[in-house]
Amino acid sequence: MVINDAVAEFFADTPPSADLGNLLDVELIEAIDVSNAIARLVSDEARYVTGVALPVDAGFTVK
């Protein structure tokens, strides 16, 4: 979702010293990562999980 012309244009003016990476040592998350999070939330193990924002972003929003 982030590899497209609009995102490339947005970051074109970003100085190279800007820290835009993730906290984890991955460049981009994969679709399976999001699918696994969804599968967890719809499972019986998460039956008491309510009203939570679950960012699957390899730590990007923590910065």
pLDDT band at 40; cut points 50, 70, 90 = very high
Answer for the pair 14, 20: CB distance below 8 angstroms, yes or no.
Answer: yes
Task: Please report the pLDDT score of residue 48 as a whole number.
Answer: 94
Quick one: tokens of 8?
Answer: 């490339």
Rounding to the nearest 10 degrees, give the CA dihedral for residues 59, 21, 7, 2. Answer: -50
Greatest CA separation found in the chain? 46
pTM (2 d.p.): 0.57
pLDDT in tens, 9-35: 777 766 555 555 666 777 788 899 999
C-alpha dihedral (30, 21, 59, 28), degrees to nearest 10: 0
Place of tokens 């924002």: 53
